[in-house]
Homo-oligomer: A and B are copies of this chain.
Amino acid sequence: MTKRVGKKTSRAERRARRPHEILEAAFEEFAAKGYAATRVEDVATRLGITKGTVYLYFPTKDVLFQEMFRHASTSSADRPTAIGGLRGSCAERIRALLLIAYENTANDRKTRELLRLSVAEGARLPEMVDCRHELFIAPTLAALTALVEEGVKSGELRRDTAAETPDVLASLIFQVAVWLLMFADRKPIDGKALMEAHIELVMSGLLQRSEQMV
């Protein structure tokens, strides 16, 4: 007869979930309107709660934003772990790595919006942007560098491959992400097809002639 009957989320559970919920709501609001244009009340309303409750968990709007950014960043942090498990030739592994990076970045709404916030609010919070660099961008570029070096050493890839190669390999991911951020659905693109074409083009430039013949 009590309220709790049939209720899967007990008060305690709900309470435990609150900070998480709030951070998710904050992500949506901040991503859509930017820091300054978002009101704390917007975040609360999105959850059906009130401003005051938000302040119960986060002392200021600024802290809320930073926690949100950190939370959104780490919530997708486990994905790159797949990198270690790649198998096949260097070319195959580079291709696989780029596709994973594409899926995790340009093709992932959350990551894309974090990129938007990094560009928009970056001046306010350089540490956060740098943090994201350490966690995601640098490791991916490092992995690409390692793979290219391995390929060169093994003779699979051209010997004259430049140090700038990893950035070049990853560049289309940024383009697709920025395109989606700027044009949303107004100018649709087939990111996956672009990515395939990109990979084919750059790989054909990377591979030794003999390999290309195959």
Contact = CB atoms under 8 A, between A and B. Distances in A.
Interface stretch (A27-35, A67-75, A78-86, A89-97): A27-35
Interface string A179-204: 10111101101100110111011111
Contacts of A205: 200-205
B164 A122 contact: no
A54 to B, nearest CB: 18
A63 interface: no
13 contacts: A34-B35, A122-B181, A122-B182, A126-B186, A130-B183, A161-B196, A165-B194, A168-B194, A171-B198, A173-B175, A200-B205, A209-B209, A209-B212
A169 to B, nearest CB: 8
Interface in A112-164: 115-116, 118-123, 126, 129-130, 133, 160-164
Pick the most buried of A121, A129, A174, A201: most chain B CB atoms within 10 A of its CB.
Answer: A201
Contacts of A35: 34, 36-37
A16 to B, nearest CB: 19
A190 B167 CA distance: 11
A164 B194 contact: yes
Interface of A: 32-37, 115-116, 118-123, 126, 129-130, 133, 160-165, 167-168, 170-175, 177-179, 181-184, 186-187, 189-190, 193-194, 196-198, 200-206, 209, 212
Stoichiometry, copies per complex: 4
Given A36-B36, A171-B172, 8 more contacts: A32-B123, A119-B120, A120-B120, A122-B184, A133-B183, A164-B194, A167-B175, A170-B175
A170 B176 CA distance: 11
Nearest to A167: B194
Contacts of A33: 123
Contact of A178 (B119, B198, B203): B119
A171 B204 CA distance: 17
Contacts of A206: 201
A129 B183 contact: yes
